[in-house]
């Protein structure tokens, strides 16, 4: 598949690397357009793909065009490439907050997929939630699913409103996990563990717990009860978390992120 990336940022490069690794596109079929000469040269040398500073040229070379630019640059880029698309090209946007209606209007084109990926996509463990316009064909949806699946897991939703909800959970979610890891490691050092030991304990605990949960057919609440003996150490720890209204704080955080996602897209 011939794929062009408009923008060469970290998430775009993660997708590019996944496409090449899975054989969804060869080096000769992948092009990146970026305004930064140093970034273009980095991508050319690292991945062996074609690069250009001309976004319209990049569009003309591809069956799938991935918009991977920063939100603040969207208006300028859309003005540059508007009208350059012809069916059956597929536009796949990973631009945070950019709604499909705005993309269709700004690009003068309607075969568009909107995606909310997350940071773990950069290590092949991402979670991407996506939707598409009615004009996107079944074959194009299969293309999109294959590319997003190369970065981890992907879920298709019929209504764009679910993208904002996913943003608050899986999009922002890695930051919640990192904050918890930061707090847990800090607490570990407070009780006497070295930074190196605390870091290893926290990383492997989070990694192992996530994998255990993924492989289990039990709900998280059931798994929590499995490792919580009445009167034991875990029960004492969980009592403190609930005393601080941990569950309600998480709910409030997700709701705040959801409302902000809707504001950014309005």
Pair (95, 195) in one structural domain: no
Q: Return the DSSP state at 123.
A: G
Residue 192 belongs to a domain: yes
Give the number of domains in the chain: 2
Of 159, 187, 220, which closes a domain? 159
Q: Cα–Cα distances in Å, from 67 out to 6, 91, 196, 263?
A: 5, 7, 39, 21
Give the residue from 98, 127, 159 where a domain finishes: 159
Q: What pLDDT, on the 0 to 100 scale, is given for residue 229?
A: 96
Look up the CATH number of the domain holding residue 109.
3.40.50.720
Tell whether 127 and 76 lie within a shared domain.
yes
Residues 41 and 126 in one domain: yes
Whether residues 155 and 191 share a domain: the answer is no
228 domain residue, yes or no? yes
CA dihedral (19, 21, 27, 30) in degrees, to 10, reads: 10
Q: Work out the number of other CB atoms within 10 angstroms of the CB of residue 248.
A: 10
167 lies in some domain:
no
**CATH code for the domain in which residue 235 is found:** 1.10.3730.10
Asked whether residue 141 falls in the same domain as residue 210, the answer is no
Residues 12 and 69 in one domain: yes
Same domain, 37 and 140: yes
CB 249: neighbour CB atoms within 10 A? 11
Q: How far apart are CA 256 and CA 249, in angstroms?
A: 10
Helical segments of the chain, H only: 10-21, 37-47, 55-60, 74-81, 100-107, 138-149, 161-166, 173-190, 195-215, 220-226, 233-243, 246-265
Is residue 131 located within the same domain as residue 204? no
127 plus 186 within the same structural domain = no
Q: Is the pTM of this model over 0.85?
A: yes
Q: What pLDDT is attached to residue 265?
A: 81
pLDDT value of position 181: 98
Residue 156 sits at φ, ψ, to 5 deg, of: -95, 135
Quote the CA–CA distance of 31 and 33 in Å, as a whole number: 7
In a domain, 168, yes or no: no
Task: Identify the domain boundary among 159, 185, 215.
Answer: 159
Same domain assignment for residues 9 and 74:
yes
The reply to whether 20 and 140 lie within a common domain is yes
Domain span at 135: 3-159
3-state secondary structure of 207: helix
Do 107 and 13 lie in one domain? The reply is yes
Tens-binned pLDDT, residue by residue, of the chain (266 aa): 999 999 988 899 999 999 999 999 999 999 999 999 999 999 999 999 999 999 999 999 999 999 999 999 999 999 999 999 999 999 999 998 999 999 999 999 999 999 999 999 999 999 999 999 999 999 999 999 999 999 999 999 999 999 999 999 999 999 999 999 999 999 999 999 999 999 999 999 999 999 999 999 999 999 999 999 999 999 999 999 999 999 999 999 999 999 999 998 87
């Amino acid at each position: 598949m011939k794929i062009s990336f408009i923008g060469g940022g970290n998430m775009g490069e993660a997708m590019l690397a996944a496409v090449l690794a899975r054989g969804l596109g060869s080096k000769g079929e992948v092009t990146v357009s970026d305004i930064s000469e140093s970034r273009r040269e980095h991508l050319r040398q690292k991945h062996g793909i074609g690069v250009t500073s001309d976004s319209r040229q990049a569009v003309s070379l591809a069956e799938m065009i991935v918009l991977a630019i920063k939100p603040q640059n969207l208006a300028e880029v859309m003005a540059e490439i508007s009208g350059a698309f012809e069916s059956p090209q597929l536009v796949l946007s990973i631009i945070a907050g950019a709604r499909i209606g705005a993309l269709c209007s700004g690009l003068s084109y309607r075969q568009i997929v909107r995606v909310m990926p997350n940071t773990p996509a950069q290590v092949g463990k991402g979670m991407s939630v996506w939707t598409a316009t009615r004009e996107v064909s079944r074959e194009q949806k299969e293309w999109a699913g294959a590319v997003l699946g190369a970065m981890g897991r992907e879920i298709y939703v019929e209504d764009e409103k679910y993208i904002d909800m996913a943003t608050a959970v899986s999009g922002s979610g890695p930051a919640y996990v990192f904050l918890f890891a930061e707090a847990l490691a800090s607490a570990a050092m407070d009780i006497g563990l070295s930074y190196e030991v605390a870091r290893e304990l926290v990383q492997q605990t989070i990694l192992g717990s996530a994998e255990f949960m993924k492989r289990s057919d039990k709900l998280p609440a059931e798994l929590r009860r499995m490792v919580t003996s009445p009167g034991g150490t875990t029960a004492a720890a969980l009592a403190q978390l609930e005393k601080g209204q941990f569950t309600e704080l998480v709910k409030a955080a997700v709701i705040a992120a959801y409302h902000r996602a809707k504001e950014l897209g309005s």
